[in-house]
Structure 1
Amino acid sequence: MNIRDIKISKQLIFVFAISLFFVMVMGWVAYNQSLKLHEKTVSMYCHPFAVERALSMLKSDIVSLHRDMKDLSLVTNETEMGVELDWIKWWKEEGYKHILIVGRQYLGPRCDVDSLRQGFDSLCYVCDETIELMRSGKKTEVLNSTKTFGIVGYKVEEVLAKLQVVNDFAIKKGDDYFKESQQLNKSLNIQLIILVVLVLLFSIVIYLILLRNIRKPIFELTYATKKFQQGDLDAHSSYESKNEFGVLSASFNTMIDYINAQNKENIKRAEELGFVKGKAEQSELINEELRKVNSELNQALKKAEESERLKSAFLANMSHEIRTPMSGILGFTDLLKSPNLTGEEQQAYIRIIKNSGNRMLNIINDIINISKIESGINEVNITSTNINEQMEALCAFFMPETERKGLKLIVKKTLFEKEAVIKTDKDKIFAILTNLVKNAIKFTEEGIIEIGYEKKDTCLEFLVKDTGVGIPLEQREMIFERFRQGSESLSRNYEGAGLGLSISKAYVEMLGGKIWVESELEKGSGFYFKIPYLIDNDVVAKDKDIQNEMNIQPQIKCLKVLIAEDDETTEALIKIHISEYCKTVLIANTGVEAVKLCKNNPDIDLILMDIKMPEMSGYEATRQIRQFNKEVIIFAQTAYALKGDREKALDAGCNDYLAKPFNLDLFSELMRKYFSK
């Protein structure tokens, strides 16, 4: 039978069986040789190695016995003599134990072991006689007996000589075993090499046979297929065989014949229907394109209309939100002019003006923040952040407002000490929580507001829950969009620009997290967001004593201050705020004037440098001042609060940075930092 007529599956089974046979043969040879190597190894361990180790220990016992016999002649009392006799007894027992091991494992002449045992017996007998002399008080004879050339020393040398005979035989036996192991290893290597060569030769032969029986039909079929693909409709496979490839080749040829017959029939029909079909398909394609374009235009129109409606609603709401606190500021400012006001009324009006100013500042900050996010200039500043301190600050900040409204504020903290210190953007976390708590207070008339966090796997999950009005299901997704505040009816009932949640969502995503809401109408809402939990391993626990010292208000000397400011209102406000720290105040309305005053007054302690001034900017003025005065403290105080403004001020030579509007608490903190005694 021709090999090419044998089925491929049977050929592969045959090859597998032969390969398995060779593997089993190689495994049997390897096992047999490894068994022999194991036996040699066991023999080496049980005789040469065990005997040599026992002889080494016996030699140590004999030397120690001789040493203690010498020490026996030097004892001065019964106690010392008792100790030495115990050691001599111990070394005798150890010696007999090791001689017993040698007797069991030694493969040489038994007379060698008997001679060694007799020599050790003789040594022990001499030692016993010497001990009796010592007990009789004959120290001089004991001393002479235990010397190297005395009777004990002679017996020691005699035993060591017999020990060496046994040891030499053990070493020789070990060398013999080693040579036999090498020969066995060489034999194993030769056998394995022969088997590997046979397997390689067999594999090459089988490979060539299979390659010929498989590659040729595949080549024939591939060649015929390519010719047919290139347009040769009469391409046929010339391979013939009774195996699977022969069947495949015959099926391929039959398929080609069938396709040719169908093609001829289809060509005939296509000639009759081609024109009509072509027109119909072209019309259908045009209609499909038109439907697609119309759908896209309708979607774009809806988005544009919705965007325009949202922006119009936002601008109307923003106009209302800005005008309301502005009306409060201007109205109560006019009322303060009345000479008939009591002190209590004046303080009440001032509080209203301050609250209105803070409200308008919050709106402006929201607009600036959303503008930064839209422009892509808001960056993440990763620092070491204590989450518990954030929670405490948040609670302290909102506690007065919740108490005024009759709400209960609950704070939940689950991490302690170093676990609560993580690497994240401290300002953004505080901004997110602030926006969420503001919303909770705004939409809750009674009940509780709960803020907190907990660690879940590799994330930190924050929550802000309230018992307020709740959010309808259909509005829970859109509340995170720009300019949204739930339904428009809510925006009319509650103050706010509708930007807080969209800012929070953007900040959470910048920190690599996710934000979502769970709510039930008339029962309240829960806002959740999670961020990666990146613990700060470099954090060091704060010393409480140092912290207490920091809380003590330091004394600040009266300073000479230069205010570089071109706006009269801001200048007057700053002058009032810093009056408690100053003995002398100098005013400069331009950058050039600031440099000149600083040159003429080298004893100036502090410069409050506005950045945007006529003639010369605050940056340039600072650089020029630093050329002749490196010691004076300079605070940049400016309305610039965008990306990189702080860095520009510090690079120009400023010691620190104050953003307008003027914050007295922050200014006081900087004064304590740079001028406390």
Structure 2
Amino acid sequence: MKGLKFQTRLILGFSLILFFSFIIGIISFIEIKNISKKTEAIYRHPLAVSNSVRDINISINAIHRSMKDVVLAKNIEELYESILVVNKHDRQVYTSFKVVQERFLGEKEVVNDAYQAYRDWEKIRNEVIMLKKGGHDERAADITRGRGAFHVNLLFEKTKILTDFAQNKADEFYLSTLESEQKSFAILITSISLILLISIGTALWLSKSISRPIHRFIDEISTIFTNEDDLIQNIQNKSEQEILGITSKKLKSSYQKLNDFNKELDKQIEQRTSELKEAKEKAEESEQLKSAFLANMSHEIRTPLNSILGFSEFLHKDDLPREKKKLYLDMIDNGGQRLLTIISDIVDISKIEAKQFSLSYEIAMLNEIIDKLHQQFSIATGKKGIELKTLKALDDYSSFISTDITRLSQVFSNLLENSIKFTNEGEIEFGYQVHENRLVMHVRDTGIGIPKDFHHLIFERFRQTDLQEATLPTGTGLGLSIAQGIVELFGGKIWLESEEGTGACFYFELPYLPTSTKQVNKKIKADEFFYHTSGKTILVVEDEPSNYIYVRDLLSEYNYNILHAENGKDAVDIINNDIKVDLILMDIKMPVMNGLQATREIRKTNKTIPVIAQTAHAMSDDKRQAFNAGCNDFLAKPITFQSFSEIVQKHLSQSN
């Protein structure tokens, strides 16, 4: 050991500690794996069996109650509704029995016995249903109260055997796990004590191994400084640390030349890395642009979310006046629509650059667009004490135009948000005027203004990143760039008039496309469609509860009879049971049987009932598949009132 180097001694000491730690780790790992296996056995076998048997009992109870409803059914609709419930829980029982058969650790004959008892009860239920369908109510009731009730009790006794066995098995696994835990704890205590003793011994051994060479080093230093009286006097009667400090000062002068060389080397490195510095600056600029993009997207998304969440909290108040409730609901709707548009902006900006962006024109009241924007942004301006004004050159009836409502609103929104951000007092005005065949729209504010030197930069993407050090804050990053791209897509142009300290006015000019009187009247009367087909029965096939509630409430407001199926199979059963349905709203993606499969099954027996596909998948291939399956029309989510009303009215009118 005496001939070993310091490094070797350190490696040897710590290797010894690591070796024992590794051995302890292996032992602990083995014990943990044992505990894990036993715990997993509880979950994979007894616990899974107990849960499945519990589900079987719950379903048996539900079926038993539903069989009573079958016996008591007053008409064919109630009978088939009860049968559907029985079939639903029947499928759940078979699913649970499958789990029990796979994971039960006892005799399989016990499971088979319980399973056969359920099959026997199923035959009795089918007999009751057939009697009920044949009009033999008394015989059906007698069997339900007699043999049916007896088999239910027999089933509960047999499933109790399964539950008791699973519980005993779980207790056995649990006690075994506790034993392993206690054993692991004892091993851990012993191991920690052993590591502690080894560490103390290793520390003492390393301390001696290091201190002795230090003393030898000090003796050698004394020998070196023998001819220098001042140094010899300084190191006499000094501690090891003090002697090492004095020696380091002496050696410091020896490194002066080395330091000079390092300085010269630094100059050469600086000269040779000029190209790398330039590349680094470009990389930093790219990172700033990326940060600007992320910050802008966060701002754009949070703004409408703030409106939605804020007004949603107000709606929880019970004493909220009706007019305020209506206003808040309008604000939530506006915020939701805007949020949907903003998410699309992430893709829109790339489409604009790639010349793959397109507009969707429709008939719209320009004054209504202005009013909705005023409602949407009046909250933000009110908080800052800014007056928000509008300017409308046409009356409401004359302001119907052909335009892309979403994109026009997006341009106004981006400009208004920009004005609100940089205006702390005064007013903001927005609106439009008509000049011959052009609409000249504007957003004017009394904010801080923009120096003319920056006018040519204001519409460039992420420009505020480049101007962070300037006294003038600018734009929102993507907002003004997107606005410019959309305006140019309309066939218009956008420009700025502003000086520092005098506010700013953004103008954009679009083609004026007024609509004919006939188109205006048709647009105004679109909301009256539902009143001509009240009393019709509509089957809504939708597995998502929130989507069903929305469609149900929308339809029930206009006196429609609503039937609900949670999947395609239930919808097929309703149609095949000759329940009168005037129209089907068919969701595409559903469990058990999807909408396309259900439509094909319905078309085998019913060729005339209108089927409207409603789905969040709105690509052209999805539409083609829906029509090939037998759907009459296609409705893409999110569903708007106008598109929904037009499609429903069209097909209900044709079915009259």
Query: How would you bin the TM-score normalised by the shorter chain?
Result: 0.3 to 0.5
TM-score relative to the length of structure 1: 0.43
